[in-house]
Chain A
Amino acid sequence: MSNSSKTLATVDGVSGTGPLRGRALPKPPPIKQFFDSKIVSTILYALVIGVICYGSYAGAQSMGYNWQWYRIPAYFYSFTDDGFQVGELLIGLGATIKLSGGSFLLALLFGLIIALLRLSGLYIGTKVAVIFLEFIRNIPLLVLLYLFYYVLGPIFKYDRITASVLCLAIYHSALLSEIFRAGINAVVKGQWEAASSIGMTKSQAYRYIILPQSIKFMLPPITGEIVHVIKSSAIVSVIAVGELTTFGRNIISDTYMSFEIWFTVAAVYLVVTLTLSIGVSYVEKHYAVKT
């Protein structure tokens, strides 16, 4: 393990699992204590949200905007003579979940491969992984999508859905690989030595000893990454892949209800990602008690 002494990656969200975790925090200054207190912060939140709501409402009024909230539910579901109908927004949500889910699974696989390459200690493996990482991290997601769709698409003859899944998977695999690497490095060196000393090969040690232990370091940032994938999946609407954002845009061009639809679309994303985060933090607590 020649590179196990390297510092942990400081990807967003990973730094919290570092060795500094148990250190006592200094007491915050009085001003901060005041703003952090429950009552004050609740009032502040209410104020901010009130101002935003009132601002949009008043702004819309002065524009003479015609609110049509009553038409929104029909875009989720409706009952017609043919029975229950799923609305466009729900269909879009389904597509978003499929797209993000597929991309995420693929990203997990790519990410693990990149992380293992990087940790392999092989000169060429490390270099390939690092170059890949720097490349992906320093290109805007939108440009990456265009590359996958307009450049690689015609060359390798795949459609826009494949382009979207590949682009999202590659982009997030770079971020996930850093999470994996940090998680793997967080397992103490003695575990490697114990595994080696009973004759395990490197891959056996990874499989039976190291990875099972690093899961608990990786789980929180990985779920953060699921939320991230769902959010970044909206970008594929620019190449007209049918998902939540695209469907929202289509509805608007038919009905001009841009305020209602964008508020609704945002709320749908929020509900999905918040549900995920809450579900995962529950699982995490469960996990923590067990081990």
Chain B
Amino acid sequence: MTDNVIIIDFKNVDKFYGSFHALKDINISVTEGERVVICGPSGSGKSTLIRCINGLEFHNSGVLNVNGIEVHENSPYINDLRQNVGMVFQQFNLFPHLTVLENLMIGPMKVRKSSRIDAEVTARKYLDRVHIPEQADKYPAALSGGQQQRVAIARSLCMESRIMLFDEPTSALDPEMINEVLDVIVELADTGMTMVVVTHEMGFARKISDRMVFMEEGRIVEVSPPDQFFTSPSSERCRAFLEQVLDH
């Protein structure tokens, strides 16, 4: 954060699904080591925005640079980019036909061409980091939701990415499992990794974020530091949204 290197940079980005205008003139940059939390009502384009960052969706106009690579549909560097941008999904998306350890090792081995031994050492290291070393040989279906999501986080970490994206990592979890996952993410945040997180967990957001982003109807409506964001948001829509979320 000291030298403020920009690692994600949206310039006038627009995105359409058919004729539906999902992202409207997005301008935001994220510096290395920064932690940005995005919130906003359902359908406001949060997932779309975050998925553009690693090219799971492609924007239609404007310029998006991530980790020194310009992201667009025909870029030959998309797979290189994705190796350096980890993503954690709402539905975990673990590979059900592989054991936990294999889930963690397949990326390093097949994509990074690490040796089996190196991949296993890395896998066990990150499994420790998410506090489930004893689950290594189970299949994902045998784990609780919270454990599965932690495996998914470890899978991304195994790629030694510089940037991590989280798209509502706790929304599919039973309430009693939310904290074990959030705790892991907070620990990660303390390591200084660049993070972009979509979440409705406002306490958690306040704890980890350097900047809060509020989106509505495909637009970024407000960007501010958490203190200001939670106490005196400048836009009316944002204030209404916060009241609603913090209420319950």
Contact = CB atoms under 8 A, between A and B. Distances in A.
A51 interface: no
B91 A198 contact: no
Contact of B107 (A191, A198, A212, A291): A198
B54 A197 contact: yes
Given A197-B54, A198-B159, A200-B110, A190 B80 contact: no
Given A204-B111, A208-B110, A197 B94 contact: no
Nearest to A200: B111
B89 A194 contact: yes
Nearest to A198: B107
A74 B95 CA distance: 56
Interface string A194-214: 111111110010001100110
B56 A196 contact: yes
A193 B93 contact: yes
Given A193-B89, A197-B54, A198-B111, A213 B83 contact: no
Contacts of A190: 89, 91, 93
Interface string A206-236: 0011001100000000000000000000000
Nearest to A201: B79
B156 interface: yes
B38 interface: no
Contacts of B82: 196-199
Contacts of B23: none
Interface range on chain A: under 10, 10 to 19, 20 to 34, or 35 or more?
10 to 19
Interface residues of B, number: 27
Nearest to B55: A196
A194 B156 CA distance: 10
Nearest to A291: B97
Nearest to B108: A198
Interface in B118-172: 139, 152, 155-156, 159
A190 B96 CA distance: 11
B100 interface: no
Contacts of A197: 54, 56, 82, 85-87, 89, 156
B171 to A, nearest CB: 14
A213 B156 CA distance: 21
A206 to B, nearest CB: 12
Interface in B64-106: 79-80, 82-83, 85-87, 89, 91, 93-97, 106
A213 B56 CA distance: 21
B89 A199 contact: no
Contacts of B112: 199
B110 A191 contact: no
Contact of B93 (A191, A199, A212): A191
Interface string A160-189: 000000000000000000000000000000
A196 B56 CA distance: 8
Nearest to B103: A194
A199 B56 contact: no
26 contacts: A193-B56, A193-B89, A193-B93, A194-B89, A194-B94, A195-B95, A196-B54, A197-B54, A197-B82, A197-B86, A198-B106, A198-B107, A198-B111, A199-B79, A199-B80, A199-B83, A199-B107, A199-B112, A199-B159, A200-B110, A208-B106, A208-B110, A209-B106, A213-B96, A291-B96, A291-B97
Interface of A: 190-191, 193-201, 204, 208-209, 212-213, 291
Interface of B: 54-56, 79-80, 82-83, 85-87, 89, 91, 93-97, 106-107, 110-112, 139, 152, 155-156, 159
Given A193-B87, A198-B156, A199-B107, 8 more contacts: A191-B93, A194-B93, A194-B155, A196-B55, A199-B79, A199-B112, A200-B79, A212-B97
Across the A-B interface, the 9 shortest Cβ-Cβ residue pairs: A199-B83, A198-B107, A194-B93, A190-B93, A197-B87, A199-B82, A199-B111, A199-B79, A212-B97
